[in-house]
Amino acid sequence: MGAKGWSWIAGAAVALFLTVGAVWSQIGAAQHTADNGKALLAALGGPFALTDQRGRAVTDRDFHGRVVVLFFGYTFCPDICPTDLQIVAEALDRLGPRADGVQPLFVTIDPQRDNPAQLAEFTALFSPRILGLTGTPDQVAEAAKRYRVYYARAQGGESDAYTMDHSAFFYLLDRQGRTARVLPHAVPADQLASALAELLDGKEEAGS
């Protein structure tokens, strides 16, 4: 591919990243106003079909009835994903027995390397409650699209030792599977625990 081709791809990637960033800036600001926040949150999420770390086919409906904290990342992530999964584990510890009502989901954005066994080994490093999900590239792309997740393979590196660029947010879903709240990367564990507790109490049900 010529220089012009690579330049066009780089420009498109930057434009996509800026668009995603603008959307998330809107969501972050809008969550402080009830009407705008609900409208933007209602646009996030929806049906997905993936495979869990035990090799079982699952859909979003399998998790209805529990509060869900959803995070997109990958097991070879050097910093963001381990940090945020540790935050999830600490938040669950803070909830104590109430954590039984929460299902943490870790959806890979790197299905080429993250098979079920790899996900199981990775999530076990943080908490046995965290369930890893993978799928075909198309299935993962569809799930990521529903939550406005940006991800792309980073340039450079060996063929099997690459990194992934990706957005990083905690998506909190109510018992009906609706996105009720979005929290940023590296949010304090006590803040995440508090937000989950409110959902467990039914105080922030989407659409309420």
Annotated binding-site residues read: 77, 81, 166
Q: Which of 28, 99, 11, 101 is nearest to 65 (CA)?
A: 101
Burial 43-79 (b: 16+ CB within 10 A, else e): ebbeebebbbbeeeebebeebeebbbbbbbbbbbbee
Token duo for residue 53: 């770390």
Beta bridge partners of 37: none
Binding-site residue ranges for Cu cation: 77, 81, 166
Spatial distance between the Cα atoms of 178 and 207, rounded to a whole number of angstroms: 9
Q: Which of 208, 147, 204 is nearest to 181 (CA)?
A: 204
Helix axis angle for 80-95 and 189-200, nearest 10°, is 50
- Can you list the alpha helix ranges (DSSP code H) found in the chain? 3-30, 34-42, 80-95, 116-123, 137-146, 189-200
Q: Are 135 and 143 in contact (CB under 8 A)?
A: yes
